[in-house]
Structure 1
Amino acid sequence: MSNKVIAIVVDGMRFDKACEALGFLQHLVETNQASLYKVKSELPSLSRPLYEVLLTGTPVSENSITSNQAVQLSTEKSLFHLTKENGLRNGTASYFWVSELYNRAPFHFIEDREQEDTSKPIQYGKFYWDDDYPDSHVLMDAEALRRKHDPHFLYIHPMGVDAKGEAFGSESKEYREQILKIGSLLAQLLPIWIKEGYHILITSDHGMSETGNHGGITDGERDVPLFIISPKVEPGVYSEVVPQLAFAPLVCELLNIEPSNKMISYQLPGLKGNITI
């Protein structure tokens, strides 16, 4: 069984709208080829703090990334650190805040746009900084990294859904259309990745309110989807709400590496082998 993972974090994609609009993924769920969970995001429901949550499995009270204005390197051990320490390759196509968390802060827009340095936590990276940088380009940046460097852990982070949500609100035509676009792009790439044996996770950092903001405690701001395509996870729709802190140790389980000692222990419903992560 492969130990390669592709994780797609669609920024700002709330649970209910993703369930309505991601038709191909829902087809995979309906035909017992994927599983679907609801994840409750950590607080605050903001991007930079939740990138850190997803990638280190630590809450903001421990990791100090408490706001979007926390422009600093993380002091925690991320999935990038862990893959590197275990002799695995990693790569990402992401918003530049991810680079600032793990490679260098502040971001240098010329020098840090493309990164290839196996001595750093993020070994191979392509980063963007305009919120309206096309999701199609982010996904193709990631696919180019995958084909060139064959990473064991590939982290993909498109921003278009968040940008439309903040501009027009979660009930808008524009927000739904952007999720539909992501669904169409994934429908083109997922069959390739599935055929090549990847474990695939699709989730979000936070949701979006009807008025186009996030950071608070409402379900619309906190509830996000987690789709999993993996032979290690039983297909189906699960009702148990998954804590967002469980994402990082789940990736470690799929990569077959030890999680950090700060990651939580959590029994993911449907994980085969009755293994606690």
Structure 2
Amino acid sequence: MPYTTQAVEKGTSYSFIAEAKPPTVTMPRIKALMTGSIPGFIDVVVNLNSPALLDDNLIWQAKVAGKRIIFYGDDTWVKLFPKHFVEYDGTTSFFVSDFTEVDDNVTRHLDRVLKREDWDLLILHYLGLDHIGHMTGPHSPLVGPKLREMDNILKKIHISLLSKEEASLPNLLVVCGDHGMSETGSHGGSSEGEVHTPLLFISSAFEKRS
């Protein structure tokens, strides 16, 4: 991911290795990221049919503060936050043999939404890399091209955000994974590959740090 690597090396970001507590499956991990709480294994049971999240969370706080939130991607978010988004397009995550359609369904909105000024928070949850892991493993030759695709998407978003900063405060681009991947390409457990995920904060506000 050359563009993302360049952003890190230029000093316009803070980068971390985050530790995801098991169970490392999507719904409880989204809950953990948005609430700051550690999920329980009962969440694995309801992962396939997620109820609306009632605990205090970042999405609710943003909405209460008047922030306009747009979401595209894994429809688990839509189930957890059914009335929080001013616009959304959910994609089911169950067709794990699909490496392209799920991500194209997210990316097709980008050019249009990045030109608009009617939102404050944009959340994108891509699925292709996860599906490649499930079907062909973490060392698959499909992983490299998918990471390059994600890098180009990050580049597009970042350049767009920078172009809008002349008349606004610095924007913040957050890049993270909800969980990692085991050596066999699965997730849910507590192996090192499953619980360690990248967490990257990119913003021009960080440029002047010493």
TM-score, length basis structure 2: 0.83
1:192 to 160, 175, 195: 160
- Residue 125 to residue 101, structure 1, CA distance change in 2 (3 Å): same
More displaced stretch, 137-146 vs 76-85: 137-146
Contact kept? 2:12, 2:205, Cα under 8 Å? no
1:55 matched to 2:28? The reply is no
The runs of 5 or more residues in structure 2 that have no matched partner are: 166-170
Q: CA deviation at 1:42?
A: 2.0
* 2:199 equivalent in structure 1: 226
Q: Would the aligned equivalents of 2:73 and 2:105 in 1 still touch at CA under 8 Å?
A: no
Q: Who is 1:124 aligned against? A: 87
Secondary structure at 2:109 match in 1: helix
Match of 1:65 among 43, 47, 53: 43
- Whether the 8 Å contact between 1:136 and 1:185 is mirrored in structure 2 is no
Q: CA deviation at 1:152?
A: 1.3
Q: How does 1:105-144 map to 2 (within 5 A)?
A: 120-129=83-92, 131=95, 132=98, 133-144=101-112
User: 2: CA distance between counterparts of 1:143 and 1:127?
Assistant: 18
Counterpart residue number, 1:206: 179
Instruction: Identify the residue that residue 159 of structure 1 maps to in structure 2.
Output: 127
Give 1:193 deviation, angstroms.
1.6
CA distance in 2, matches of 1:90, 1:189: 16
Q: Is the 8 A contact 1:60 1:66 kept in 2?
A: no
Q: In structure 1, what is the Cα distance between the partners aligned to 2:104 and 2:161?
A: 16
- Give the unaligned 5+ runs of structure 1: 1-21, 104-119, 236-269, 273-277
**RMSD of aligned C-alpha atoms?**
2.4
2:11/2:206 contact within 8 Å kept: no
Superposition deviation, residue 234 in structure 1: 6.4
What's the counterpart of residue 182 of structure 1?
Answer: 150
Letter of the 2:10 counterpart:
T
2:91–2:105 contact (8 Å) kept in structure 1 = no
| Aligned twin of 2:168 | none
Pick one of 26, 29, 32 that aligns with 2:5. 26
Q: Give the length in aligned residue pairs.
A: 199
Query: Counterpart of 1:60 in 2: which secondary structure?
Result: coil
**More helix per residue:** 2
Match for 2:70 among 91, 102, 113? 91
Partners of 1:74 and 1:146 lie apart in 2 by: 28
Shift of 1:79: 2.3
Partners of 1:52 and 1:65 within 8 A in 2: no
Question: TM-score, normalized by length of structure 1?
Answer: 0.65
SS at match of 2:112: helix
> Distance between the aligned counterparts of 2:28 and 2:195, measured in 1?
13
